[in-house]
Structure 1
Amino acid sequence: MAQQKGTVRRTPLSRERVLSAAVVLADESGVESLSMRKLAQELGVVPMALYKHVANKEELLDGMVDVIVGEIDAAASGEDWKSAVRQRVLAARQILLRHPWARRVIESRTNKSPVVLEYMNAMIGMFRSGGFSVDLTHHVMHAMGSRMWGFTQEVFDDSGSAPEEVPPAVLHMMAEKYPHVMEIAMRADHDNESVVGQGCDDQFEFEFALDLLLDGFERLHEQGWTSRRGTVQR
């Protein structure tokens, strides 16, 4: 029996195992509570063992983003650029819904890893393969912004919590002073279960904005738009 116990070997620690465990911890407890010490405990190792695979917390977060981006379905079965882009973006959104913490981490990253660059390159390639000029594609990517990753940065937080949390007198004052803002912000016809982060970024709103953008890109492409004076090429 002792001999058998001696042959039992612990699963070797690897960068992939470290990153996967970090993603699971962030899913369970939130990325704010993630620490190298807590991650080491989860893996059954001393904290110093982690530094052989990730240099610090920032590199850990970079790697976690790589894991998330790697989960996005890269298959683009659409027959044209528009359906292919739409499919890829909505696939990214499904991953962000699965890992709500990833939005804040993606926004905080300043370095672009090879995994992230490959994703961006593939997205750009969809427009270029669709016949978009480099000029138009440049502006398209700016317009896509965070939507490329499956989320948007919302103006209003109309998740429905305001009426319970804000005193009626304050709401009345706000409505008198900023009537147009309040009539929009107080709308409650959203699916709170599908929100990515804060605000009204539900599935309907996300697809509504995405389709507006794609329709606009298509119109500009067909018109031969150029950024030179923002005109249409004749």
Structure 2
Amino acid sequence: MARPRNPLLSRDRIVGAALALADAEGLAALSTRRLAAELGVSGPSLYNHFATKDALLDAVVDHVVGEVDLSMWEPSRSPAAPVDWALALLSWARSYRAALVAHPHLVPVLAQGPGRRANALRLADAVFGGLVDAGWPKADATRIGALMRYFVFGSALGSFAAGFVDDRQVYSEDYPHLGEAHLLAERRRQIDEGAFETGLAALVEGLAAQYGRLAGPDAG
């Protein structure tokens, strides 16, 4: 029997092509017609795997969440060496931001919350469970999870440095404290990553101080 010209469709192949298209051209380019053309198939064949475009988009963004490392929250096999929640929070936040920065066009959709997405729910469960197991009261663990999401998504949603033009004349006369602002854009990655690390350290250090004031694992 002759082999098919195109590989058989699968959910993974569709999701991979959709993600590549969204990364390259943005969500506006992600239509079933365009995706079918990229895959070399007819449009209706996609619906055998995803009933709606929203279902496909859910799968794409959940695939991105699946790139986030959660291993730092896995319980230790030794009771004498429990998970260090502060170090876990630092590592997880960095991995989360890296996944978002790699797929910037999907950040607004990801920010809507986990919904029914398996990887997103697994992430929420790991972080919340890790904090509670470390002794944080459930109410505090919930707030910390929300706080970290706000911070990580905010840092990935846009670039502070890229918001400044590279024209010295714009800042030379009326803005005396912005004499080097024209240099920010070319140092975008260094500045944006440095700002993230500065904020992340401040957040976790503040939480550590709060944690030290807890009366015990059942407090609150």
Alignment of 1:210 onto 2:200: yes
Kept after mapping to 1: 8 A contact 2:114/2:120: no
Q: How does 1:41-56 map to 2 (within 5 A)?
A: 41-56=37-52
CA contact (8 A) 1:37 1:47 kept: yes
Distance 2:115 2:34 in 1: 25
Report percent identity of matched pairs. 27
The Cα shift of 1:152 comes to 5.1
The answer to whether structure 1 residue 161 and structure 2 residue 164 are counterparts is yes
The CA distance in 2 between the partners of 1:108 and 1:139, in whole Å, is 17
Letter aligned with residue 222 of structure 1? G
SS at match of 1:86: helix
Q: Does structure 1 conserve the Cα–Cα contact (< 8 Å) formed by 2:27 and 2:105?
A: yes
Is the Cα contact below 8 Å between 1:82 and 1:214 reproduced in 2? yes
Match of residue 8 from structure 1? 3
- 8 Å Cα contact 1:93-1:149 kept in structure 2: yes
SS of 1:71 mapped into structure 2: coil
Q: How does 1:214-233 map to 2 (within 5 A)?
A: 214-224=204-214
2 CA distance for matches of 1:161 and 1:11? 46
Moved over 6 A (4+): 166-169
Query: CA separation in 2, counterparts of 1:137 and 1:168?
Result: 44
String of CA shifts for 1:128-165, please: whole Å, max 9, x gaps.
Answer: 122111122122123223335684567x844253464x
C-alpha separation in 1, matches of 2:107 and 2:14: 20
1:127 aligned residue (131, 151, 175)? 131
Equivalence for 1:115 = 119
Aligned partners of 1:148, 1:193: CA distance in 2, in Å?
15
Task: Tell me what 2:147 maps to.
Answer: 143
CA distance in 2, matches of 1:53, 1:150: 33
RMSD of aligned Cα (Å): 3.5
**Match of 2:206, as an amino acid?**
G
Alpha-carbon distance in structure 1 between the residues aligned to 2:135 and 2:113: 31
Are residues 209 and 168 of structure 1, via their aligned partners in 2, closer, same or farther at CA, if it must alter by over 3 Å?
Answer: closer
The runs of 5 or more residues in structure 2 that have no matched partner are: 74-81
Gaps of 5+ in 1: 1-5, 195-199, 227-231
Amino acid at match of 1:224: L
CA contact (8 A) 1:69 1:115 kept: yes
**Structure 1 pair 26–159 and aligned structure 2 pair: CA distance change class (3 A):** same
Aligned mates of 2:152, 2:128 — CA distance in 1: 10
For this pair of structures, how many residues does the alignment match? Answer: 208
Structure 2 residue 70 is the aligned partner of structure 1 residue 67: no
The C-alpha deviation readout for 1:205-232, integer Å capped at 9, x for no partner, is 1111111111111111110189xxxxx9
Contact map agreement 2:136 2:211 (CA 8 A) in 1: yes
Secondary structure of 2:111's match? helix
In the TM superposition, what is the alpha-carbon distance from 1:119 to its structure 2 partner?
0.7
TM-score in terms of structure 1 length: 0.73
Q: By how many angstroms is 1:37 displaced? A: 0.7
